[in-house]
Amino acid sequence: MTWTAPDVADPTTPRNADERTTLEAWLEKHRAALLRKCAGLTSSQLAEQAMPPSDLSLLGLLGHVTEVERTWFRILLRGEEIGPPFAIDTTTPGWYASVTSSSAPELYAGLLAEQDACRAAVAELELDDTFEGATTGPNSLRWIYLQVIQEYARHNGHADLLRQAIDGTTGE
């Protein structure tokens, strides 16, 4: 049986909540938006580099945001000494261009697992908790939420274009 990316619900965002709840809700919305762009696609479709001359694919985006979350929330903020999230060599710039359809289930599951690990990593922290950046000085959890949200927002725009090129699907 051919693997396809599962359907994902579109979470709501509160319009009048405290800052932490609002930041977490918007991050969840953007996480889900990327997964919804992948929903119903096969491994081959996810690996398709559908917007030449770019070598970007939805599968590459899944791998990239997995690294983004791991790096900001767990490695930098929490100081966890952990390796790369996949068996794929992600140390080469542009590695995401070389992902193949055979890695789709692993990358998809890896992103979900990383999101869960990141939620757990920050659950007991306050928005004002910081880590000391090597060149940036202190970085708060608040700032990291915004950084990761903007990463997703930017790449969700790429995902919109890729999905439309793959099968014509548009919209949220």
* Closest among 134, 73, 66 to 95, alpha carbons compared: 66
Residues 6+ apart with CB under 8 A from 134: none
Q: Kindly report which listed range (17-21, 33-37, 61-65, 83-87) carries the lowest average pLDDT score.
A: 83-87
CB contact at 8 A, 33 and 152: yes
The 10s digit of each residue's pLDDT in 83-139 is 777 666 666 666 666 677 678 998 999 999 999 999 999 999 999 999 887 777 899
Q: Around Cβ 43, how many Cβ atoms within 10 Å?
A: 20
Which residue ranges make up each domain of the chain?
19-167
User: Does the pLDDT at position 171 exceed 70?
Assistant: yes
Cα–Cα distance, 42 to 115 (Å, whole number) = 22
> How confident is residue 18, by pLDDT bands cut at 50, 70 and 90?
very high
Residues 6+ apart with CB under 8 A from 161: 51
| pLDDT for res 118 | 98
Residues 6+ apart with CB under 8 A from 36: 7, 8, 10, 172
Question: Mean pLDDT of all residues in the chain?
Answer: 91
| pLDDT for res 98 | 67
Burial 128-159 (b: 16+ CB within 10 A, else e): ebbbeeeeeeebbbbbbbeebbebbeebbebb
Class of domain 19-167: mainly alpha
